[in-house]
Amino acid sequence: MASIVAILSSVLIFSAFSLGSSLSLNYYDKTCPHAESIIANAVKNAVSKDKTVPAALLRMHFHDCFIRGCDASLLLNSKGSNKAEKDGPPNVSVHAFYVIDSAKKELETWCPGVVSCADTLALAARDAVVLSGGPSWDVPKGRKDGRTSKASETITMPSPAFNIAQLQQSFSQRGLSMDDLVALSGGHTLGFSHCSSFQSRIRNFNATHDIDPSMHSSFAASLRGVCPIKNKPKNAGTTMDPSSTTFDNTYFKMILQGKGLFSSDQALLSNPKTKELVSKFAGSQEAFRKAFVNSMIKMSSITGGQEIRKDCRVVN
Ligand code: HEM
Ligand SMILES: *[C@@H]1O[C@H](CO)[C@@H](O)[C@H](O)[C@H]1NC(C)=O
Ligand SMILES: *[C@@H]1O[C@H](CO)[C@@H](O)[C@H](O)[C@H]1NC(C)=O
């Protein structure tokens, strides 16, 4: 039974992934020439009021792409008895859906029924990176929006407790390589994490170690200070890196010091190939930016939808 589920789920992931060859750079040139500037303005407005928006948009795009391809399935609301992805377990800090809503509203005024929610999110994620001081790139467009969103499928998201083999498997199921894993993990240069995502590393780690031995001890001590034993304030947590609103390579420098926040971050040192890339990106901002762009285009080309939604929260 388990193997049938595994086969079915990899067929599902793989078939979504293999449809993704029809994107193009000039997709809206004739049908909605101002699409990109409309989206960029909506993102800029939101960011000017709330500095946590770029991280939220980048993570939102990643989560969208990893389930059923980049088809805006993450944007759908739960309806009736169907619990949607956004109400599934790994949704802490997935927020700022209103930014996509406001961009989409403006798009519908100018070119109704033309620009997909999935493209809107892919472009907004790029804009979020640019506004944080990161690289810019041309986003291939032409994604369609999906009609299915299931909270139960969020169990296929990689966990922050994953080791390198599990991360590799999760990425390769989506056609992404170890190089993509390292570059895209650099998305953790932005944003915030709740204690729940790393608390198993800082107390009662296992029978022989109270603290994860791969974590720098003074870093662990400072995290213990931030995260109370009975994690009552559910919003307690810490920034993903010390410069959490700036897109830079600090994340990789922290990993080299044993100050990666999640096991999945620190695990990038446990394989010679990924370790070498971490060192390379820690030493060269340029190398990281180039690799990140390359891998973002790859991740955001995993397509899977069928329609152009009018409202990103509901199917047509
Ligand atoms: C490699 C596997 C990955 C794992 C296991 C992972 C896990 C997580 C976790 C647990 C959080 C914190 C959630 C919380 O406690 O609030 C987080 C935050 C974040 N992740 Fe990842 N992530 C991964 C890959 C990525 C990728 C590929 C990107 C984008 C390219 C990304 C972008 C972000 C961002 C920007 C945040 C901060 C969100 C915010 O501040 O609102 N992550 N991730
Ligand atoms: C996350 O999921 C929980 C239930 O698992 C739900 O109550 C909550 O509203 C969701 N959060 C967001 C931001 O959608
Ligand atoms: C605890 O974790 C460390 C490091 O990952 C490992 O070497 C050790 O064998 C583990 N101990 C137990 C009892 O699992």
CATH of the domain at 132: 1.10.520.10
What's the structural domain count of the chain? 2
Question: Which pLDDT does position 179 carry in this prediction?
Answer: 98
Two tokens, residue 46:
């939101």
Mutating to test ligand 1, I would choose from 57, 60, 62 the residue with most ligand atoms within 8 A of its C-beta, which is 62
For residue 202, the enclosing domain spans 164-297
Mutating to test ligand 3, I would choose from 208, 210, 266, 270 the residue with most ligand atoms within 8 A of its C-beta, which is 208
Is residue 169 one of the residues assigned to a domain? Answer: yes
| 53 and 32 fall within a common domain | yes
Question: Which pLDDT does position 231 carry in this prediction?
Answer: 64
| 27 and 153 fall within a common domain | yes
Is residue 8 one of the residues assigned to a domain? Answer: no
Q: How do the pLDDT tens digits run along the chain, 316 residues long?
A: 344 444 444 444 444 444 445 899 999 999 999 999 999 999 999 999 999 999 999 999 999 999 999 999 999 999 999 999 999 887 666 889 999 999 999 999 999 999 999 999 999 999 999 999 999 999 999 999 999 999 999 999 999 999 999 999 999 999 999 999 999 999 999 999 999 999 999 999 999 999 999 999 999 999 999 998 876 667 899 999 999 999 999 999 999 999 999 999 999 999 999 999 999 999 999 999 999 999 999 999 998 999 999 999 999 9
| 262 and 279 fall within a common domain | yes
Is residue 12 one of the residues assigned to a domain? Answer: no
| 130 and 198 fall within a common domain | no
Question: Which pLDDT does position 21 carry in this prediction?
Answer: 57
Contact call for residues 118 and 71 (beta carbons, < 8 A): yes
Cβ of residue 182 lying under 6 Å from some atom of ligand 1 = no
Cβ of residue 264 lying under 6 Å from some atom of ligand 1 = yes
Question: Which pLDDT does position 228 carry in this prediction?
Answer: 87
Ligand 2 pocket (Cβ < 6 Å) reads 86-87, 89, 91, 94-95
| 153 and 178 fall within a common domain | no
Is residue 9 one of the residues assigned to a domain? Answer: no
Contact call for residues 85 and 153 (beta carbons, < 8 A): yes
Enter the DSSP assignment of 215.
Answer: S
| 76 and 168 fall within a common domain | no
Is residue 108 one of the residues assigned to a domain? Answer: yes
Is residue 316 one of the residues assigned to a domain? Answer: no
| 34 and 50 fall within a common domain | yes
- Among the candidates 134, 157, 180, a domain finishes at 157
| 214 and 191 fall within a common domain | yes
| 142 and 181 fall within a common domain | no
Taking alpha carbons only, the member of 259, 240, 145, 140 closest to residue 194 is 240
Which CATH number do you get for residue 174? 1.10.420.10
Residue that has been written with the tokens 């589920």 in this structure: 5
Question: Which pLDDT does position 233 carry in this prediction?
Answer: 67
pTM of structure? 0.93
Q: Exposure string (b/e) for 69-82, b if CB count within 10 Å is 16 or more?
A: bbbbbbbbebeeee
Is residue 95 one of the residues assigned to a domain? Answer: yes
Contact call for residues 285 and 166 (beta carbons, < 8 A): no
Is residue 24 one of the residues assigned to a domain? Answer: yes
- Among the candidates 118, 134, 157, a domain finishes at 157
Amino acid at residue number 17: F
| 31 and 90 fall within a common domain | yes
Cβ of residue 93 lying under 6 Å from some atom of ligand 1 = yes
3 state SS of 29 = coil
- Among the candidates 128, 157, 186, a domain finishes at 157
| 179 and 266 fall within a common domain | yes
Cβ of residue 126 lying under 6 Å from some atom of ligand 1 = no
| 245 and 142 fall within a common domain | no
